[in-house]
Amino acid sequence: MNRIARKFKEDKKLLSIYYSAGFPNLDDTVPILKKLEASGVDMVEIGLPFSDPLADGPTIQKSSTQALSNGMTTDKLFSQLENIREYIHIPLVLMGYFNPILQFGIEKFCQRCESIGIDGLIIPDLPVDVYHENYKELFDQHGLYNMFLITPQTSENRIRYIDKVSNGFIYMVSSSSVTGAKNTFGNNQTDYFQRVSAMKLSSPTVVGFGISNASTYSAATQHSNGAIIGSAFIKFIEEKGVERINDFIRSIRV
C-alpha cells in the first residue's frame, strides 16, 4: 500500500510540511527531512524549485530563487534523496511545476521517483483532464499518487471529477490567492471547508495556503483530514535555523 494511503488510515489529523529543496542551503534538503520526521510530522512535500512559480507567494518564491541560486536542480535533488528510504519512513511528495518535469522526461522522472521511494506528486499547472488522458497510466505504473488542487471557486462537478480520477488526497486551497501565511480564516473560508466536507468525497482532503499557527491549523482540520504548512515554516527556518525545527512543530500541535 502506498504510504500516503496508509497514513490516512491513522485516526488523526495530519500535519504536512512543505519546503523548497536546497533552501536555505543546498545540502539542507535531507537534514530538514530528518528533523521533520523526528518532530512527528506526518508527511512532507519537497518543493522542486522553478524560476516561474505562478501559484507561490513571495516567501516560497524567494526560497525557490535562493535554492536555484544555490545550485539546486532536478538531478541534484534526486541525488540527495537517493538512499532516503534507509532512514525516512513518512510519505514524501514532490511538488513542482510541469515544465521542469517535461524537460527532465516524464517517464524518466517517474522512474527516478519510484526507485527513490517518492509516494506522490503535486503539479499545480497540470490540468486533471490532461493528466487523466495522457499520464495517469504512467503514474500508476510507477506507484505514484497525483494530487490536485481545488479552490473555493472550483465547481462541484469538477471536484467530483478530481475525486474520481486522482488518488492520495485532494489539496484544498484555502483561498484563490497565492500561497502565504495568515493568522485567521474568515467566514467564506470556513463555509468552503464545510461545503466540501458535506460532499462526502471518497478522497481525504487536506487544506493548504494560509496555515501558519496552531489556530489556523485547528480551524483548517476541523472539516478536513489535515493541513499543509509552507510559508510559515520556510520563514521559521530562515530566521531560526534548521536546528530548531522541533520548536516550530510543537507550536502548531499544542
Q: List, by residue number, the catalytic residues.
A: 45, 56
SS3 239: helix
Question: What's the CA gap between 68 and 16, in Å, rounded?
Answer: 23
Residue (of 167, 228, 175) closest to 201 by Cα position: 167
Alpha-carbon distances of 10 from 48, 169, 226, 228, 247, rounded to whole Å? 28, 14, 12, 17, 24
Query: With contact defined as beta carbons under 8 Å apart, do 80 and 21 qualify?
Result: yes
Query: With contact defined as beta carbons under 8 Å apart, do 114 and 144 qualify?
Result: yes
Question: What's the CA gap between 13 and 225, in Å, rounded?
Answer: 5
Question: What's the CA gap between 59 and 238, in Å, rounded?
Answer: 10
